[in-house]
């Protein structure tokens, strides 16, 4: 048997982390078994489905590296198939038209509530005579088509995650609607449970892997497989993703869509890796792996029944692992869109080597790609704003002269194309000015970076120098130093006697 699985998102919103994680598990299972993974867009809800959501979903899956072998198929293009199946159910007496008005259904539910009964359809139109039907049609009522569910049926399956499952027909809410707004002449809008079974049969799906919120649907769908003469596939219901408080992760928790995670600076590899760990663990205990590596080891034996808590710290940790392991030459391409988005000016074609050098400098301190926006900001502007601590450093006695000496050396063409050259320049100035090297370095940091902390000074200087920004900043810093009305004495080293 060739394994055939599918992801069947509804394009009623952006690609949700829950759907993406389900897609990951389907993909891992398909790849583990050398099977096929199919993408099917469940867009039968015409009011809520939008093509921009379809685009967001397909782009999100592609970005994550979840490639599909067939599709995307669109349910909206397959309505005839569903209507044929419904007609078969009607012809075989397994479904019927029910003409209840919304008001009648409401009254029924109110009565059930008053009696403390669970809400259900009481199957009152199951056995209408032709005359009754005609009378309802003559009244202009629109029917829904209901599939018969016998209360005394017991539905069982062996879930690949949850083990043996049993549902009673009486717990499924009465005969279920499979198509809306129908008349004797025409079958209206087919609904999810029917369409999904027709498609899973037609696409020869062997394993239905989806979130545990679909368990009750599975019981209903098994009845539909039987009614339509299809082979019942295997089912695996994956655990929900929970927030810190242990509730289902929802929009209220902030980001939930893959495009949001991307905007927040997570890499596709880290996010896909993290989603794999949301409910599954590798037999060898590994936590950092590619999807292809996970696929080799994937099985449902190691998927938890309990909900999977979403752990931002873990995701951040994984993301930093990926960022630190990515060569600067590749990482730069991931950072450029964030720098562009932030409005930083550079010419990608011309400045790529410079951007790569900057990337190498920042990489060790990045957790998310977005961190490079703040940490990189001051490399993209000729000038910098001076923090109080930097100003304090600049206004110490003698710093103006010190910086002037450095500026003169640069103006005289002292090379600044390597760390060695930079160090040589510093040594020369330190010697000539008779100051401690630490003072020189602190003053240069204040002058060039406007702050007393930050990335490696020499490397930062070389990067700024390549765009000529060091000269401008030295000039600004010297002006600050010279303006100072009450200079603080600089701790001079004993001047050389000669």
Chain residues binding ligand GLU by CB under 6 A are 8-10, 42, 196, 210, 214
CB of residue 129 vs ligand GLU: minimum separation in angstroms? 36
CB of residue 42 vs ligand GLU: minimum separation in angstroms? 4
**Largest CA-CA distance found in the chain, in angstroms, rounded:** 122
Q: How far apart are the first and last CA of the chain?
A: 92
CB of residue 8 vs ligand GLU: minimum separation in angstroms? 4
Return the structure tokens found at 97.
Answer: 């038209």
Return the structure tokens found at 104.
Answer: 């009648």
Q: What is the side-by-side strand order in the sheet with 70-74?
A: 4-7, 36-41, 70-74
> Which CB, 10 or 54, lies closer to ligand GLU?
10
> Which CB, 137 or 234, lies closer to ligand GLU?
234
The verdict on whether omega for the bond into residue 72 sits within 30 degrees of 0, i.e. cis, is yes
> Which CB, 118 or 231, lies closer to ligand GLU?
231
Active site residue 309: no
CB of residue 220 vs ligand GLU: minimum separation in angstroms? 11
Q: List the beta strands (DSSP E) in 34-133.
A: 36-41, 70-74, 95-98
| Residue with token string 């009607």 | 90
> Which CB, 191 or 407, lies closer to ligand GLU?
191
> Which CB, 38 or 425, lies closer to ligand GLU?
38
What sign does the dihedral 317-322-328-331 (CA atoms) show?
negative
> Which CB, 26 or 326, lies closer to ligand GLU?
26
What is the total residue count of the chain? Answer: 498
CB of residue 192 vs ligand GLU: minimum separation in angstroms? 6
What residue spans of 289-418 are helical by DSSP H? Answer: 291-297, 312-325, 328-341, 348-362, 371-376, 388-394, 399-411
> Which CB, 20 or 464, lies closer to ligand GLU?
20
DSSP 399-441: HHHHHHHHHHHHHTT---SSHHHHHHHHHHHHHHHT--HHHHH
Catalytic residue of the set 115, 220, 248, 251: 251
CB of residue 370 vs ligand GLU: minimum separation in angstroms? 29
State the Cα–Cα distance between residues 19 and 257, nearest whole angstrom.
9
CB of residue 214 vs ligand GLU: minimum separation in angstroms? 6
State the Cα–Cα distance between residues 63 and 254, nearest whole angstrom.
21
Question: What is the distance of C-alpha 333 from the center of its chain?
Answer: 19
What 8-state DSSP symbol labels residue 257?
B
For residue 48, the tally of other CB atoms under 10 A from its CB is 11
- Is residue 445 within 8 A of residue 457, CB to CB? The reply is yes
What 8-state DSSP symbol labels residue 204?
T
Catalytic residues: 251
């Amino acid at each position: 048997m060739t394994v055939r699985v599918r992801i069947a998102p509804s394009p009623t919103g952006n690609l949700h982390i829950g759907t993406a994680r389900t897609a990951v598990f389907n993909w891992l299972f398909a790849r583990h078994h050398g099977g096929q993974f199919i993408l099917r867009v469940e867009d039968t809800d015409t009011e809520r489905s939008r093509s921009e959501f379809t685009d967001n979903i397909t782009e999100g899956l592609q970005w994550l590296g979840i490639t599909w072998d067939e599709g995307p198929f669109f349910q909206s293009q397959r309505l005839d198939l569903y209507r044929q199946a419904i007609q078969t159910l009607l012809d075989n007496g397994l479904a019927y038209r029910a003409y209840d008005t919304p008001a009648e259904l409401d009254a029924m539910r109110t009565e059930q509530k008053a009696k403390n009964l669970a809400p259900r359809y009481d199957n009152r139109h199951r056995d209408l005579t032709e005359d009754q039907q005609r009378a309802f049609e003559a009244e202009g009522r629109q029917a829904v088509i209901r599939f018969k569910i016998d209360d005394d049926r017991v539905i069982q399956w062996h879930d690949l995650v949850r083990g043996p499952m049993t549902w009673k027909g009486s717990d499924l809410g009465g005969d279920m609607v499979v198509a809306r707004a129908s008349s004797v002449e025409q079958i209206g809008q087919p609904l999810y449970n029917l369409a999904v079974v027709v498609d899973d049969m037609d696409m020869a799906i062997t394993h239905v892997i989806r979130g545990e919120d679909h368990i009750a649907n599975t019981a209903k769908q098994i009845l539909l497989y039987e009614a339509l003469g299809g082979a019942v596939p295997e089912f695996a219901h994956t655990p929900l993703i929970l927030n810190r408080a242990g509730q289902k992760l929802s929009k209220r928790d902030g980001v939930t869509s893959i495009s949001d995670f991307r905007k927040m600076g997570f890499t596709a590899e880290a996010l896909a890796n993290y989603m794999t760990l949301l409910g599954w663990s590798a037999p060898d205990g590994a936590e950092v792996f590619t999807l292809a590596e996970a696929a080799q080891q994937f099985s449902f034996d190691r998927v938890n029944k309990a909900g999977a808590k979403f752990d931002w710290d873990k995701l951040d940790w994984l993301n930093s692992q990926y960022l630190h392991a990515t060569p600067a030459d590749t990482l730069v391409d991931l950072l450029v869109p964030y720098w562009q988005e932030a409005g930083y000016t550079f010419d990608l074609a011309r400045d790529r080597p410079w951007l790569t050098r900057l990337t190498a400098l920042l990489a060790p301190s990045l957790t998310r790609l977005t961190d490079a926006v703040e940490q990189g900001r001051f490399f993209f502007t000729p000038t910098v704003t001076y923090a109080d601590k930097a100003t304090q450093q600049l206004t110490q006695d003698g710093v103006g002269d010190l910086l002037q000496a450095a500026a003169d050396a640069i103006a005289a063409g002292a090379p600044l194309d390597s760390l060695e050259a930079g160090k040589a320049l510093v040594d020369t100035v330190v010697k000539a000015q008779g100051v401690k090297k630490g003072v020189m370095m602190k003053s240069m940091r204040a002058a060039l970076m406007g702050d007393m902390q930050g990335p490696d000074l020499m490397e930062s200087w070389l990067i700024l120098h390549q765009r000529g920004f060091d000269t401008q900043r030295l000039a600004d810093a010297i002006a600050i130093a010279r303006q100072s009305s009450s200079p603080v004495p600089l701790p001079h080293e004993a001047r050389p006697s000669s």
